[in-house]
Chain A
Amino acid sequence: MIFGMFDGPLFYLGPIPVDHLVVTEWVLIALIGTIGYFATRDMQMVPRGLQNAFEMIILWTYDFFTQLMDKEHVAKKWAPLLTAFFLFILCSNYSGLVPGAANIPGYQPPTSNWNVTMTLALITFFSVHIAGLSEHGGHYFKHFVSPSPAMLPLNLIEEVAHPLSLTVRLFGNIFGEEMVIAFLLFLAPFIIPSAIMGLSLLLGAIQAIVFTILSASYIAAATGEGH
C-alpha cells in the first residue's frame, strides 16, 4: 500500500477477491495482446508497418537469446516466454508513470508488490527445471551432486537463491522508486518528482532487461553441457 491508497479487494468473482493489482495486470495483458493482434492480423510475405517492426524485434530477440544460451533450439523454445516476461515487466514498471495513475485510489504498479514478482520468479524457477529435464532427461538431477555429493547443500541453496534474488530485486527496486516518487510528490509537487520520474523510465527498462537476462541465464545453465 502506498500513501493514501487502500489495499482491499475491488470486487469479487464468486468467492475470489479481485484487487487493483489483478485488474492492472489484466489491462496490461489486454494491451500487449491487442498490439500483438494488430501486428499479426493481416500477415504479408513482404512485411509492412507494425508487422515489419514486430518481425524485426522477434528476429533480434532470437539472435540475442541464441548468443546468450549458445543452443539455438533452446533459445527458440524459450524466447517467447522470456520476451513475454520482458514486455509484461516493462509495461508494469511504466504503468506507475502513466499520467493520472496516481489519482486512482489503490493503484500501484504490479511489480511493486512482491506477490507478483515472486509469481514471475516461480515461473522462471519451474521453467528452468523443465528446460533442464527436457534437455538432459533424468541425468539433469546429477548436477545437484556435482562435482561431489558433499556439494549438495550448496547446490540446493543456489537453486533457492535464484528465485529469491529475482523476487527481491525487482520488488525492491520498483517499490523503492514508487516510494521516492510518492515522498517527493508529497514534499515538492511538480518539478522535482519529474526528474525522478525521468530516471524511473531508465530504471524500469533496466529491471525488465535484468530479469529477462537472468532468467535466460538460468535456463542456459540448466540446458548447458555442464549438466
Chain B
Amino acid sequence: MTQGQKKHWARALSDAINMVTTTAAAIGLCGYGGYWLDMKLGTDRWLTVIGVLLGVATGMKVMWDKMSTNQNTFPGDKSQDKDKR
C-alpha cells in the first residue's frame, strides 16, 4: 500500500459507502413515493416506474459527482508513481 493510498483510505471508504447508501435510499424513496402516488391516483404502476428511474438517476448523479471530485483531488494519484520509482 502506497503512502497516498494509506492517507486517503478513510476518504475512499466514506465515498464508497456514501455512493451505495445514497443510491439505495434514493431508489427506495422515489420508488415508494411513486407507488404511493399510483395508489392515490390509480395510475397503474407508471409512477412507481418513473420514481425508481428518478432514484436511479439520482444515484448516477451522486456517483458522477464523487468521481469528478476525486479526479480533481487526486489527479493521476502521483504518489503511486513516486513510490514506484
Residues in chain A within 8 A of chain B (CB atoms) = 64, 67-68, 70, 151, 153-155, 157-158, 160-162, 164-166, 168-169, 210, 213-214, 216-218, 220, 224, 226
B29 touches A164 (CB 8 A): yes
Nearest A residue (CB) for B15: A217
What is the interface size of chain B, counting residues whose CB is below 8 A from a CB of the partner? Answer: 26
- With A162-B22, A165-B21 as given contacts, are A157 and B10 in contact (CB-CB < 8 Å)? no
User: What are 8 residue pairs bridging A and B, where the CB atoms are less than 8 Å apart in the complex?
Assistant: A67-B10, A154-B57, A158-B22, A158-B26, A161-B22, A169-B21, A213-B10, A220-B14
- With A158-B26, A161-B26, A169-B21 known as contacts, the answer to whether A213 contacts B13 (CB < 8 A) is yes
Given A154-B58, A169-B21, 15 more A-B residue pairs with CB atoms under 8 Å apart are A64-B10, A67-B8, A68-B10, A153-B54, A154-B57, A157-B29, A158-B22, A158-B62, A160-B29, A161-B26, A161-B29, A165-B25, A168-B25, A213-B13, A226-B65
Minimal beta-carbon separation of A214 from chain B (angstroms): 6
CB-CB under 8 A from A169, the residues of chain B are 21
- Show the binding face of B for A, using Cβ within 8 Å: 7-8, 10-11, 13-15, 17-18, 21-22, 24-26, 28-30, 54-55, 57-58, 61-62, 65, 69, 73
Query: How many A-B residue contacts, CB cutoff 8 Å?
Result: 65
Q: Which label, helix, strand, loop or mixed, suits the secondary structure of the A interface? A: helix
A157–B7 alpha-carbon span in the complex (Å)? 31
Do residues B11 and A162 form an inter-chain contact, with CB atoms below 8 A? no
CB pair B14 A214 closer than 8 Å: yes
